[in-house]
Structure 1
Amino acid sequence: MFNGKKIAAAVIISILFFFISVVIYFKQFHLNESSIDITNLDSEQIMPWGVSSINAPALWARGITGKGIKIGIMDSGIYFGHPEFSRNLKQGINILNPSELPLDDFGHGTFVAGVIAANNNNYGVVGASFGAEIYPIKVLDKDGFGRINDIVEGIEWCIQNDINIINMSFAINEDNESFHSAIKKATEAGIIIVASASNSYGGEVGYPASYDEVISVTSVNKKMEIDKKAPRGKVDFSAPGVDIISTSSNGDYSNLSGNSYAAPHITGIIALLMEYRKNIGMPNDRSNLLNEIKKMTRDLGNKGLDKTYGNGFVILNEDHFPNGGIKR
């Protein structure tokens, strides 16, 4: 979403360079009531319904956890002290202040990171691809605002550091040439980009999700019904995004809803696919990965691809993972 007061100051013209900075606003979703007790997660581990519904545990049982896959989480940073990230968290980068760690002073990035890669241990929650390496890329400030030129710089960092997947759980209203150019450059470098559709309540999907190069994700609930916040338009896949339990920036856990939390489920799925395909010598280009994912979707809404559910809800199908490359 845009914040009108900040857009007024968004155009910068200099003699040598012309930059367009678009302020991105992340609305933090209200805390939802949950049927799961999250007060005792310091002593017990639960399986989030989203992770279970995409059938990630079936691949874990075969030794596929996302190991060796590098995921850039372009967001508000991460809470480095959270015990759920003790095994797989890398330093990443703070684009806003490169001399500091990408610490999460907003909360959004930590929650997204937990959906992707919270550790599989004896407490808390577990992420879809808990074996993957996560790299926080802080491009949002303490109020959840960011600028396009910071996002572009973050994308460039991902290219230079051989990131495999970028998760962008945000949306802006309008196309931006410099933003799109950076995304094209990243995909040409072999990076898979996953983005959440805008929380526009039936309105536009927004960007970067609307770009052809980006895998766009919308949110559904446990009954496979579309989230009331979901948009209509260029949607590729549906994923869990309602009543999601994940890590919070105070070192605890919380329960939130929104398209922001659907995207990291697809990011986790792709990480698992990439590890498997890498193990058996198959290419991990975007085209092949998309074809594999489409084969594992449950059609929702109108038959076939539609503007509400996209290709459908992705469920990892064990039949697509023959013995090769999988530990038994």
Structure 2
Amino acid sequence: MSDDNTRLDLYRRGFLTAAGAAAGGAALTGVTSATPGRSPGAKEDEVLVGVSAAADEVAGEVAKHVPGNAEVVHVNGKLRYVAVKFPSQASEVARENFIEAITSNRHVKYAETNETFESLEVPNDPRYDDQYADQMVNAPTAWDTTYGDSSVTVAVVDQGVKYDHPDLDGNVGSDEGHDFVDSDSDPYPDSMSDEYHGTHVAGIAAAETNNGEGVSGIGNSTVLSGRALSESGSGSTADIADAIQWAADQGADVINLSLGGGDYTSTMKNAVSYATDNGSLVVAAAGNDGSGSVSYPAAYSECLAVSALDPDESLASYSNYGSDIELAAPGTNVLSTWTDDGYDSISGTSMATPVVAGVAGLTLAAHDLTNAELRDHLKATAADVGLSSDEQGSGRVDAGDAVTTEPGDGGGGDGSTTSSVSGSLSGYWDGTCYSYGFEYSDPSRVVLELEGPSNADFDLYANDGTGSCPSTSSYDYRSWSTDSQETIAIDDPDTSTELHLLVDSYSGSGSYTVTITEYE
């Protein structure tokens, strides 16, 4: 596409939304400490309230509407949400009434229950005598070029990691983590017998390789441990979202989410959007229901969804599948580090996901790539194992090809083209719609990125294949966070008509830039 944006046809219109005039924006803060006594793991008595960036402050905007039997127990200033806790004896109706009332506030973007997510491993007693997963993804070929680089970071948002395991202590440090379950700086597991999942996941991605001991991880990346699941294997939306935001702020190149089971939530969506916007590749487990739909958070477009394979490269019976799958990896009976300082084999999409995360880290040791370029390169170099695209996505991840193939050089289409357009919105009534003609005849992916003012709340909507402009109530895709930094990613877009996108002011005014990137 040419730089003068001649294909970006502009027209303006006004959509009346529920928001009012903008207020002055306050400086964003990080994650606050949780209120003492806030329980670990699932938090079913809490409601998460998202506050627009046009509000003066996050907690204050919510606190004045909290009923007397409830209290604000947690605030995340960067993701702009507040957790409101109701007493355990409060009825579900009381929480629903609060949600209905608080969402009538012009600065409240959403309110939702604090969903529970769980680790996605399937216990299995049989143990392999050797590691087949590394060989299946051709890691030895990659190791001829690099064993990885400690400057590359892979964040494991999961249970705690036993960072003093003899096969992890060189790649995981006690000072490179945070515990969001117990609200402290030490992500060490609370129970060695029950809390093994995070240690196993970390070992798959980054157990010490070529150190003459134990097993080999995919590569020698540095592991950041964000403990967001308790020893029971469950965790709340808020704890996981906070851990994702923290990992992105630490500069994580890759964030591994071997968890799922909850529904769509705006809080989690905003967290993975935040991480993506800040340069992290978010890799997530497809789910273990054996169903034809991918579970959240893997189903968010920001996440690279991974299905699990058996040792014969057939789809594992437990693995979810569907159109959101992007890559497959070995997940059945994967041998890795254990909390008794030894090793064990378990199965699940939880195990397949760190294989991909580890390959991503290994690839970054060989190539300087953005998160979008890395995602595209991993898919372009994946191996077709004869499954449908709903089962394998682009194929089984291949470390050898990902490391040894130069991006854009015979990798199956690593090229990209970028264009941008700038504009301004006057207030909550204002919006601008653009039409975009595709540069490639059959792009694998198109990414729309909105960069707007920090003291306003702009949203991004898109339609593909319809030939018409979206509205705030009718659209194919939406990015609707509490600030003006929005991203929409569309895999295999419909190029039969022009792409249409809408920049809308939920609240506030100012200038913005929209960047559109197509990938071959």
Deviation at 1:26, TM superposition (A): 2.7
Match of 1:292 among 368, 377, 390: 377
Partner in structure 2 of residue 73 of structure 1: 156
Match of residue 229 from structure 1? 318
Greater Rg over alpha carbons, structure: 2
Normalising by the residue count of structure 2, what TM-score does the alignment of the two structures yield? 0.55
User: Which residue identity lines up with residue 160 of structure 2 in the other structure?
Assistant: G
Which residue of the partner structure matches residue 107 of structure 1?
Answer: 196
Give the Cα–Cα distance (whole angstroms) in 2 for the partners of residues 148 and 323 of structure 1.
38
Q: 1:275 aligns with which of 365, 373, 393?
A: 365
Output the aligned Cα RMSD: 2.3
Of stretches 173-182 and 59-68 in structure 1, the one that deviates more from structure 2 is 59-68
Alignment match, 1:23? 116
Do the aligned partners of residues 248 and 323 (structure 1) sit closer, same or farther apart at CA in structure 2, a change above 3 Å counting? same
Aligned residues: 301
Instruction: Note if contact 1:194-1:267 (Cα within 8 Å) is conserved in structure 2.
Output: yes
- Relative to 1, partners in 2 of residues 1:28 and 1:216: Cα closer, same or farther, differing over 3 Å? closer
Contact 2:121 2:350 in 1 (8 A): no
Shift of 1:288: 1.6
Q: 1:300/1:58 Cα in 2 relative to 1: closer, same or farther (>3 Å)?
A: closer
Could you list the per-position Cα deviations for residues 152-194 of structure 1 after superposition, in whole angstroms to 9, with x for gaps in the alignment? 2112211221111100001123110011011111101111100
* Matching of residues 1-328 of structure 1 within 5 Å: 8-11=44-47, 15=63, 18-19=82-83, 20-26=113-119, 28-36=121-129, 48-90=131-173, 91=175, 92-104=177-189, 105=191, 106-120=195-209, 121-129=211-219, 131-233=220-322, 234-278=324-368, 284-302=369-387, 306-318=389-401, 321=404
User: C-alpha displacement at 1:319, in angstroms?
Assistant: 8.6
Structure 1 unaligned spans of 5+: 1-5, 37-45, 279-283
The alpha-carbon distance between structure 1 residues 190 and 12, as it changes in their structure 2 partners (threshold 3 A), is: closer
- Residue 43 (structure 1) aligns with: none
The one-letter amino acid paired with 1:26 is: S
8 Å CA contact 2:253–2:281 kept in 1: the answer is yes
Normalized per residue, the structure richer in strand is: 2
- The one-character-per-residue Cα deviations of 1:55-97 (angstroms, maximum 9, x if unpaired) are 1122222234143101110000111231011211123111122
Structure 2 counterpart of 1:254, one-letter code: D
Structure 2 equivalent of residue 281 of structure 1:
none
The structure with higher relative contact order (CA 8 Å, sep 6+) is 1
Partner SS, residue 313 of structure 1 = coil
Decide which structure has greater helix share: 1
* Structure 2 runs not aligned, ≥5 long: 1-41, 50-61, 65-80, 84-112, 408-520
The change in CA–CA distance for 1:311 and 1:148 in structure 2 (over 3 A counts) is same
TM-score, scaled relative to structure 1: 0.85
1:320 Cα deviation (Å)?
6.2
SS, match of residue 58 in structure 1: helix
Q: Deviations over 1:227-269 (max 9, x none)?
A: 1111122111110101111111121111111100000000011
SS in 2 for 1:122: coil
**CA contact 1:70–1:164 (8 Å) conserved in 2:** yes
